């Protein structure tokens, strides 16, 4: 069985109170020393260097996401916008392949909403039931896969802009979908999922049927 898992996390995170320029080589070190920085903050970016880069605050009653522009010449990030629209207990953030749409999965929501990265204005949402834990847009941008911690259907694949899922997947009663546990294979319409036992334990991979 083949599996491709993308782990998106960083060990240190800057929490700006106002737009700042961050240097990739060292960041805003004074601010980092003043604030405790949680590990494993969700982080996502385009596959190339064009940006944007998006970081989010996990495990808070009201989570903030920050969108940064990339200046490859100066090797810096400049904050474009930020907001608390995703809600609380943020589990996952993901960008479409163009860097224009941000998808978020937060425990306080019953859907995966989408936002324009330009200003975080709404671009619809994709129903999952409460506590979505994963979202992964397909490589061509046409199908966001969403996942929820559930004893019923665990994964819902939508056509972009759709209101009904194109496919539902039940991963079984003895496992639950792991946080950030969905990833597409870049070259083919295969979706991979990572699960764990409901009470915790070793993760396991699944290859899900293509559309």
pLDDT tens digits, residue range 59-71?
889 999 999 999 8
User: Tell me, what's the pLDDT at 59?
Assistant: 80
Does residue 32 have a pLDDT over 90? no
Report yes or no on 83 lying in a domain.
yes
With respect to residue 45, please indicate whether it lies within any of the assigned structural domains.
yes
Which residue range is the domain that position 112 belongs to? 21-208
Residue 59 falls inside a structural domain: yes
CATH code of the domain containing 178 = 2.130.10.10
Domain presence at residue 12: no
Domain-embedded: residue 43: yes
What is the rounded average pLDDT of the residues 179-183?
94
Compute the average pLDDT of residues 167-196.
91
Radius of gyration of the chain (CA): 17
pLDDT for 205 equals: 94
pLDDT, average across residues 77-85: 93
pLDDT tens per residue, range 103-148: 999 999 999 999 999 999 999 999 999 999 999 999 888 999 999 9
Residue 46 covered by a domain: yes
> What does the alpha-carbon distance between residue 155 and residue 182 come to, in Å, rounded to a whole number?
9
Residue 12: the pLDDT is: 35
With respect to residue 2, please indicate whether it lies within any of the assigned structural domains: no
Computed from CA positions of residues 157, 163, 164, 170, in that sequence, does the dihedral angle turn out positive or negative? positive
Q: Does residue 192 belong to any structural domain of this protein?
A: yes
Confidence of residue 40 (pLDDT cuts 50, 70, 90): low
Looking at the 3D structure of the chain, how many domains does it have?
1
Is residue 1's pLDDT more than 60? Answer: no
């Amino acid at each position: 069985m083949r599996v491709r898992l993308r782990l998106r996390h960083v060990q240190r995170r800057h929490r700006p109170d106002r737009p700042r320029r961050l240097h990739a080589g060292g960041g805003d070190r004074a601010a980092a020393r003043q604030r405790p920085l949680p590990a494993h903050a969700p982080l996502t970016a385009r596959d190339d260097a064009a940006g944007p880069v998006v970081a989010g605050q996990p495990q808070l009653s009201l989570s903030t996401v920050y969108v940064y522009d990339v200046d490859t010449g100066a090797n810096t990030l400049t904050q474009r916008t930020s907001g608390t629209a995703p809600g609380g207990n943020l589990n996952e953030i993901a960008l479409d392949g163009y860097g224009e749409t941000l998808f978020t999965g937060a425990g306080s929501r019953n859907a995966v909403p989408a936002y324009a990265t330009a200003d975080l204005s709404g671009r619809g949402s994709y129903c999952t039931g409460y506590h979505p834990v994963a979202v992964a847009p397909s490589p061509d941008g046409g199908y966001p896969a969403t996942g929820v911690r559930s004893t019923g259907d665990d994964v819902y694949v939508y056509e972009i802009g759709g209101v009904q899922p194109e496919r539902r997947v039940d991963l079984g009663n003895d496992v639950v979908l792991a946080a950030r546990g969905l990833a597409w294979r870049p070259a083919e319409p295969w979706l991979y999922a990572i699960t764990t036992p409901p009470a915790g334990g070793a993760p396991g991979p699944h290859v899900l049927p293509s559309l």
